[in-house]
Structure 1
Amino acid sequence: MKFTKKTGVAILAASIFTLGGCASSEEEQIQAVANQGVQALYTDARDSMSVGNFAQASQILGLIDSKYPFGAHSHQVQLDLIYSYYKGGKPDQALATIDRFVRLNPNHADVDYAYFMRGVTNMELDNNLFQELLGVDRDDRDPSKSKEAFEDFRRLIQKYPNSKYAADARERMLHIKNRLAKYEIAVARFYMRRQAYVAAANRGRYVIENFPDTSQVQPALEVMVSSYDQLNLTELKENTMRTLRLNYPDSEFLD
């Protein structure tokens, strides 16, 4: 069923959230929404999304969702609410809505989208706004959200290998693996500075074993060479040097 827009609804709905003259409490706002008609208000929310006003869209969609949780279009309202929360910079609300949607609709045709958006949202949580603004990349920051995102995408691909989001999910998983490998190298270098050479070598080996398809293999081998050198483990150092020389002949550690 296609939603149709009633005359004046967009103006009235917007006034609920901006002017507040017609409703002074949340209960009155909900009642005002109900009085305008759910179909017309949903159209207004979609219009807000189309022009990038995700804050207003999420307000309208949230009220529709709370007032009509089992309506004919409730599933699409929830999916749009997930996207509006994400684009509006409210990742915690997006995750809560995603988890509720998956829990209540495990067999829905668009549940793969919910899994995908969970991964995307967790990736966003791993990013730091101030780091982006200042151009600073802190590889040693807590990677827990990246790990969650990786599991979200892995779950999507495992459950829905033919999903239209699967290819994008795989690409994002590669990006996350590189992020996690960088974190391991940052920790290994921290151990090197503290002269904890065994721990540093173990971190380097962990990268080799778990992230062999990332750009961090060379620094991992170099950390291992340095650690084995400090530990006087000549055979392990020479074996690692051979691997380094074979794959990265321009490494400064070969001088």
Structure 2
Amino acid sequence: MPAIARLKPLLTLLLVGSLTTLLLTGCAGRIADEDKTEQQLYQEAQEALDNNRYTTAIERLQALESRFPFGEYGEQAQLELIYANYQSNQYEAARAAAGRFIRLNPDHPQVDYAHYLRGLAAWEGGRHALEGLELSDISKRDPGATREAYGDFRRLILDHPDSQYAPDAVQRLRYLKNLLAEQEVYIGQFYLRRGAPVAAINRGKEVVEGYRDTPAVPDAIAVMIEGYLHLEDQKEADRLKQLLVELDPEHPQLGRNQQFVQLHPANKPDKTLLQILSFDLLRF
């Protein structure tokens, strides 16, 4: 038998043995999360954050928080967990983590940051959700995330007016306020189309009273005018029309000689069969 042929089994055994040794050495060199120190977990989380590996960062931060809740890095890990969840588009998890941090650390010097990230998470979660709405889709839309973002940014501004995040929060708050006012108008118009004038008037009032400094006020007044015309309350409709003329004489629903133009006449409601059969006792 040639010498090379006799060496093949020996070389194979040596190769297998070397690979086994390397694998065993590698496994022995790894430390399970439950055996790592607080500092090791925190350093690994930092490295993951620096390299945009947010899933790994979340795992390390959660392990750190679970094993060392009162450790040296506990509060910082909670803050960075909010950020990691936000960056990985886990907005509900980010809001939950921020809410927990605010609740447990109300006097922390960076609690304003937690408020800000909580608002940003809601902002991203509902971003553009109310833009370009069609009236027919209004009943299916939920402005919950927008309202949550509005509340978070408002709380940040009220509680931490000198925060470095306050100026940006003010800009976002203004945008959200306009958006929420428009939402109320859209819903009011939807109610007019469905033959529910009282509900429409209430939506208009919500804008006039709660969002009086937004551009949606004239449209809200127009909704209220139509609502009162549906109810055949000409006196209140005329009073509101005069207010609309004063606020916005070029409003699209003010026609020739400033006569009010109804977009949703009372004799053309878009009612459901259920409303018709229930004699309009069921409202939305």
- For this structure pair, what is the TM-score category when the shorter chain's length is used for normalisation? 0.7 to 0.9
Q: What secondary structure is seen at the aligned counterpart in 2 of 1:202?
A: helix
1:42 matched residue in structure 2 = 42
Q: What secondary structure is seen at the aligned counterpart in 2 of 1:252?
A: coil
1:199 matched residue in structure 2 = 199
The change in CA–CA distance for 1:209 and 1:43 in structure 2 (over 3 A counts) is same
Higher Cα Rg, which structure: 2
Paired residues, number: 224
Look up the equivalent residue of 1:101 and give its one-letter code. Answer: F
1:243 matched residue in structure 2 = 243
Per-residue CA deviation, residues 110-155 of structure 1 (Å, 9 max, x unaligned), is 1111122222222333348xx69xx864665222333233222232
2:209 matched residue in structure 1 = 209
User: Identity rate of aligned residues, in percent?
Assistant: 37
Farther-moved stretch of structure 1 (237-246 vs 211-220): 237-246
2:174 matched residue in structure 1 = 174
- State the 1:201 CA deviation: 1.9
Where does 1:55-94 land on structure 2 (aligned, <5 Å)?
55-94=55-94
Q: Is the 8 A contact 1:139 1:182 kept in 2?
A: no
1:99 matched residue in structure 2 = 99
- State the 1:95 CA deviation: 2.4
Q: What secondary structure is seen at the aligned counterpart in 2 of 1:215?
A: coil
Superposition RMSD in Å: 2.7
**In structure 1, C-alpha distance between the alignment counterparts of 2:225 and 2:27, rounded to whole Å:** 71
Look up the equivalent residue of 1:76 and give its one-letter code. Answer: Q
Give the TM-score of the pair, scaled to structure 2: 0.69
- State the 1:219 CA deviation: 1.6
**In structure 2, C-alpha distance between the alignment counterparts of 1:127 and 1:194, rounded to whole Å:** 28
**In structure 2, C-alpha distance between the alignment counterparts of 1:95 and 1:241, rounded to whole Å:** 44
**In structure 2, C-alpha distance between the alignment counterparts of 1:192 and 1:104, rounded to whole Å:** 46
Are 1:148 and 2:151 matched, yes or no?
Answer: no
Q: Is the 8 A contact 2:38 2:71 kept in 1?
A: no
Look up the equivalent residue of 1:68 and give its one-letter code. Answer: F
Among 31, 34, 37, the alignment partner of 2:34 is 31
**In structure 2, C-alpha distance between the alignment counterparts of 1:240 and 1:22, rounded to whole Å:** 78
Structure 1 unaligned regions, length at least 5: 1-20
1:17 matched residue in structure 2 = none
Structure 2 unaligned regions, length at least 5: 1-25, 256-284
Give the TM-score of the pair, scaled to structure 1: 0.76
